[in-house]
Structure formats: C-alpha cells, structure tokens
Amino acid sequence: MAGLLPTVTNLEGVSDVLTRAIFYVDEAIKRDFLEILPEQVDEIATISDITVKARVNDQSSGGLSYQKALRCFRGSTILLTLVNPTKKHLWVLSAESRRRDASSQWNASILSDNHNGNNPAEADRIKQQHPDEPECIVDDRVLGNLAVTRGNPIKCIKSVDLTVMQRQPVGDHSFKLPRIYTEKIFLNVEPGFRVPAAIESFIPRNLSPPYVSNLASVHYVDLHEQSSCDCFILMCSDGLIDLYMDDPDHVESLASLVQKWVGAVGDVVKDNIQEAMLRLLRYALGAEDIDRVSCMLNVDMPVPYMDDTTVSLQVL
C-alpha cells in the first residue's frame, strides 16, 4: 500500500482491505475450530462428552485442537491505525484521534459511535436483526453477557490527532455459532471458561446467531488540513474506558474523558510517550487517591474488577 497514489479509489480500497482482513482472520479462526468436530450441527448433539473432551483437550499431544478452541471462544481486542508514508491519510479501525493547533488549545470530538450494547443505535440494530428475541439484549449486553457488539473509534484535537477504541470482537464465537457448539464443545474445554455458570446462563438466549459482527468499522481521516499541527495517535482497549465508566462515584461521558486525557498527556506526549501512557493509566486507577489505586492493584481486594487494559501512543 505504501506505493499507492492517494486517489479516491485507492483511499476507499484501503478501508475495504482493512475490513476484509479482520473478517478473514475471524472466519479462519472459526474454520480451524470446526475442523475439530467436522460433523453436522445435528450430529454434534449425539456425540458423548467423553469423545468431545478427548478431541478438544489434546494438550498431551501438542494441544493443536485445544488452541483452536481457545481462539474461537475467547475474544480479542484489535487496535489498528494506518498512516500513509506522507502522513496525509489516516485510517482508524475502532479507535480515537486528537490534534493541537497553533493556539495550543486542546479540543476533542468523537470519531465514531460506541459499539456497545448500551448504545441505543447498536442495541436497536441487534434487535432488528433478531425481532422475535426480546432477550437478545439484556442489561445493555448481548444475550445478557457480552458488552461489545463490534469495534469502536473516536477523534480528538491541540490542533494533535488521536484515536480511542473498544474491542473489535474477533473470536467470541459463542455469540456467532449455534448454541450446540457452546453447550457441547466450548464448555468441555479444560481449562476453559473462568466462570462456566456465566456462559450457561446465556445459552438459552442463543436462538439465531450471529449476535455480534466481525465487520470492522473503519474510518478515514484526511490529515491535509492538519499538516501544520502536532499530531499523535492514542489507542486503548475498552478496559481503560471501563475504569472510568464502572466507578459510580466518578461517572463521566466519553467526550469528557477524551478531553481529560488530552489535558493529561498534552504537555509530555512529544517528549516522553512512556510517561504519557503511564499518566493515562494512573489517572484511570485513581490518580492521587492512594486508597483507590491500592484497591485496584491489590489482588487481595475483592473489588473493584479491572479488565485487560492496553494503552498505546504514537506521535505522527
């Protein structure tokens, strides 16, 4: 792609390539898993649990089938931005963007919709796809279990470019395959789900999969107008956002968080990216509230829960 001229056709083509790449990766994960039990769906129900466990839990002989199953039922975050060699064109796959202008004032704007079940548009999309299933969305979660519905970007500005994202669900095939695969195979993987009861609770709601999409949301950003600006990319997994959103005493809008993050890292991002990333994490854990930070980091404390949290910064 580095040699492509920046024509309109090529710009559109890059977005298509990124979307298809994510789709093909996810389909390959599913295809590899289905090779473990190539039987038809109605035949899988008749296979004994002993036979299923013997096929799936093959760690003693290399664990190839076991690894295929893990990749299929577990989910993964994809954080991806692509900038062309001249730094005039930016593609964001589920992320957020920021910039700084000559006035040295920071501003922020949302680049894309929030692809979680608590977004009415995303919830409505799933409900329209499953009109006779009132429990396809329960408590703002897909089938009452999974928060994410697909990926999620954001854009911000000092006049710098930045990107924040939530999980692009590659994997999570318990929400994409017929329920028999979860009942008969995924729940027989050992070691497998950390809380099997949580999985068992949503199986009855899985009536007409898929419920989550593996079609990534790709956004193109024209950087020509920002050529005189300092620019950087910030990418984070939904774990960072959850550290703010899940605290009832510090609930903030995503737009407010973006502005706060810009202010937190703007004065150091060009000189010390590591320091900027650590600042974001420290702010999320509780900043100067030592009790809260200790609670988040002390494994002996029963609450609160911290999801996998990734932060990445890149100056353009």
Q: What is the pLDDT of residues 154-188, one digit of tens each?
A: 333 444 444 444 445 689 999 999 999 999 999 99
- Evaluate if residue 8 carries a pLDDT over 60: no
pLDDT at 301: 56
How do strand 170-171 and strand 154-156 relate by DSSP bridges?
Answer: unpaired
The answer to whether 99 and 231 have CB atoms below 8 angstroms apart is yes
Q: What is the pLDDT of residues 288-297, one digit of tens each?
A: 777 777 777 7
Q: What is the pLDDT of residues 19-67, one digit of tens each?
A: 898 899 999 999 999 999 888 888 998 999 999 999 999 999 999 999 9
Residue 103's pLDDT band (boundaries 50, 70, 90)? Answer: very low
Residue 251's pLDDT band (boundaries 50, 70, 90)? Answer: low
Choose the weakest-confidence range: 53-62, 184-193, 202-211, 269-278: 269-278
The answer to whether 30 and 72 have CB atoms below 8 angstroms apart is yes
pLDDT at 93: 74
8 CB-contact burial (10 Å; exposed 0-12 / middle 13-18 / buried 19+): exposed
Q: Residue 269 in 3-state DSSP? A: coil
